[in-house]
Amino acid sequence: DAGITQSPRYKITETGRQVTLMCHQTWSHSYMFWYRQDLGHGLRLIYYSAAADITDKGEVPDGYVVSRSKTENFPLTLESATRSQTSVYFCASTGQGYGYTFGSGTRLTVV
Amino acid sequence: GENVEQHPSTLSVQEGDSAVIKCTYSDSASNYFPWYKQELGKGPQLIIDIRSNVGEKKDQRIAVTLNKTAKHFSLHITETQPEDSAVYFCAALFSNYQLIWGAGTKLIIKP
């Protein structure tokens, strides 16, 4: 199916564990983004990527790692999860900078 | 740094009335201003956008106006319906195809 998909939809993990959130898009969009959304903070940019093998930090990158070996995939890894990383995570993509398309989100709970 | 301010944070209107959400931005070089609607449990979805060479754009009950001199833009929803209830985000395009986001407006349509 065409579009942008995130997995898993829901995830519960323990403090200190590594967890990877997946994002896959089928349009070959150049630009991909990871946001977290918390009550009272709107959308905050974690990392973004302009192309395969090109990534850069956003507003809140600490504690997160990204990679982009293929254009269509942009996984986000929490190396050692903390309770403060409990949030809803959204992936987005765009081909030309206009009109981001968002995934359905991953609700992550760190206990 | 660059920022987008959005007001109000919550807006409650009677069904059938109009709703207006306002945003101001700081980067005078911004030339693209999208609006997103986020329903509960879903990712943000683009509903309308405007570029800096246009002052107003309409799509059925939704319109966006842009005043580049004053650096503000607004979303207008006429004849509001229950399905318009959602959180609305404004944004302004920044460098590297990054969007700077407003904090969001929760729109409540009262029956």
Average pLDDT over chain A, rounded to an integer: 94
pLDDT in tens, A22-58: 999 999 999 999 999 998 778 999 999 999 999 999 9
User: Buried (b) or exposed (e) across A11-39, using 16+ Cβ within 10 A?
Assistant: bebeeeeebebebbbeeebbbbbbbbbee
Min Cα–Cα distance to chain A from B60, Å: 19
Residue of B nearest to A95 (CA): B97
Residues of A in contact with B5 (CB under 8 A): none
CB within 8 Å: B101 and A103: no
Alpha-carbon gap, residue A91 to A5, rounded angstroms: 8
Q: Is A99 on the interface with B (CB under 8 A)?
A: yes
pLDDT computed for residue A7 by the predictor? 97
Q: Which residues pair with A10 in a beta bridge?
A: A107
Average pLDDT over chain B, rounded to an integer: 94
Alpha-carbon gap, residue A111 to B90, rounded angstroms: 33
> Is beta strand A10-13 parallel, antiparallel or unpaired with respect to A106-110?
parallel
Of A58, A94, A102, the CB nearest to B44: A102
The percent of residues above 90 in pLDDT, for chain A, comes to: 89
- pLDDT at residue A1 above 70? no
Alpha-carbon gap, residue A95 to A100, rounded angstroms: 8
Of B41, B44, B97, the CB nearest to A31: B97
Residues of A in contact with B32 (CB under 8 A): 97-98
- pLDDT at residue A99 above 90? no
The secondary structure of A56-95, three-state, reads: EECCCCCCEEECCCCCCECCEEECCCCHHHCEEEEEEEEC
Residue A97 one-letter amino acid: G
pLDDT computed for residue A32 by the predictor? 96
Q: Which residues, 6 or more positions from B29, have their beta carbon under 8 angstroms from its beta carbon?
A: none
Bigger pLDDT: B53 or A59?
A59
Alpha-carbon gap, residue B101 to A93, rounded angstroms: 15
Q: Mean of the pLDDT values across residues A66-84?
A: 97
Residue of B nearest to A30 (CA): B97
pLDDT computed for residue A41 by the predictor? 75
Q: Mean of the pLDDT values across residues B27-55?
A: 92
pLDDT computed for residue B96 by the predictor? 65
Residue whose entry in the numeric block shows the structure tokens 């900078």? A97
